[in-house]
């Protein structure tokens, strides 16, 4: 790549792209991601664990990074919304802290975004991830660009001109299914979602938070996965459809809870208890109130 093209790319990034990253006790890994990104790209970090020392450290070290401290742990969707409302560029790119970015990924995303124009989301492809046929609008997985019903939330380039039509992320959802809810609203507005096979990323999965909190985070994930799954299906397809989709989760959770209690496995029994609690809270139409105690 010649110097003129490098300069033009940097200028494009400054004008066109803002990266949004939501962190929660992510101090051990966040710099790995920052260092994979061009220094000309504006990065907004929404910090949900009130880590003021992380804010000071990152803003002092990186001139392109701004860290916004949430008043409390507001969840993923609400934190992304904080970032989206501050974006002044043409596109925003939501990234999870535990992703590895191919060096050409952002360039490909921005170039294709400029070509396609009328879209809601562009997503890079995680070649370690199995994309089910239900995710594709038309299951032609060998094409360079595939139109999708939905994409994973750990990497989403959002066309900001269409955010007023789509609406922001549903802040009733604390964790899980917030990206699928966003995608279904994109499709209802006839704003296409695309997966770009040449834009590559790798998601490590469940690695965004300091490992010492693993069990508390697993309990949290279990509660919210179940709550959010019912809420999502109830919101878009009705209460009884939500019951149909989640009742197998309840049966499995109850069986496993009894098994782990019998085995005196406290850690796993707490995880299964969280699944049961999340489902019953959602069935009762209660708010998503559970928060990890860390």
Write the CATH number for 141.
3.90.550.10
- Same domain for 36 and 179, yes or no, is yes
- Same domain for 36 and 17, yes or no, is yes
Within-domain flag for 230: yes
| Both tokens assigned to 197 | 């096979």
Structural domain span for residue 77: 3-203
- Same domain for 224 and 153, yes or no, is no
pTM: 0.93
Within-domain flag for 294: no
> Of 155, 172, 203, which residue is a domain's last?
203
Beta strand pairing call for 17-23 and 121-126? unpaired
Residue 6, pLDDT score = 45
Strand partners, 195: 123, 146
**Cα gap 221→236, rounded to integer Å:** 22
Within-domain flag for 289: no
pLDDT in tens, the chain (294 residues): 453 454 455 666 778 999 999 999 999 899 999 999 999 999 999 999 999 999 999 999 999 999 999 999 999 999 999 999 999 999 999 999 999 999 899 999 999 999 997 899 999 999 888 888 889 988 766 688 999 999 999 999 999 999 999 999 999 999 999 999 999 999 999 999 999 999 999 998 888 898 999 999 999 999 999 999 999 999 999 999 999 999 999 999 999 999 999 999 999 999 999 999 999 999 999 999 999 988
């Amino acid at each position: 790549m010649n110097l003129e093209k490098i300069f033009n790319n940097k200028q494009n990034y400054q004008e066109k792209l803002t990266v949004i990253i939501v962190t929660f006790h992510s101090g051990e890994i966040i710099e790995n991601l920052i260092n994979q990104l061009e220094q000309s790209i504006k990065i907004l970090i929404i910090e949900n664990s009130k880590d003021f020392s992380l804010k000071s450290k990152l803003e002092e070290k990186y001139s392109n990074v701004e860290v916004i401290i949430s008043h409390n742990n507001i969840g993923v969707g609400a934190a992304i919304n904080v970032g989206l409302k501050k974006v002044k560029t043409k596109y925003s790119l939501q990234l999870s802290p535990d992703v590895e970015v191919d060096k050409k990924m952002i360039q490909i995303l921005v170039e294709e975004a400029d070509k396609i124009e009328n879209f809601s989301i562009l997503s890079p492809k995680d070649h370690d991830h199995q994309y089910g046929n239900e995710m594709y609008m038309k299951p032609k997985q060998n094409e360079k660009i595939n139109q999708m019903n939905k994409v994973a939330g750990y990497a989403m380039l959002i066309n900001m001109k269409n955010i007023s039509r789509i609406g922001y992320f549903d802040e009733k959802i604390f964790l899980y299914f917030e990206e699928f809810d966003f995608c279904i609203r994109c499709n209802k507005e006839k704003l296409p979602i695309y997966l770009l096979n040449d834009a590559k990323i790798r998601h490590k999965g469940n690695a965004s938070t300091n490992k010492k909190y693993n069990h508390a985070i697993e309990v949290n994930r279990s509660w919210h996965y179940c709550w959010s799954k019912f809420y999502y299906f109830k919101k878009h397809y009705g209460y009884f459809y939500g019951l149909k989709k989640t009742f197998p989760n309840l049966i499995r959770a109850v069986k496993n809870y009894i098994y782990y209690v019998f085995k005196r496995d406290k850690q796993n029994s707490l995880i299964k208890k969280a699944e049961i609690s999340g489902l019953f809270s959602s069935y009762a139409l209660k708010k998503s109130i559970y928060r990890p105690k860390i």
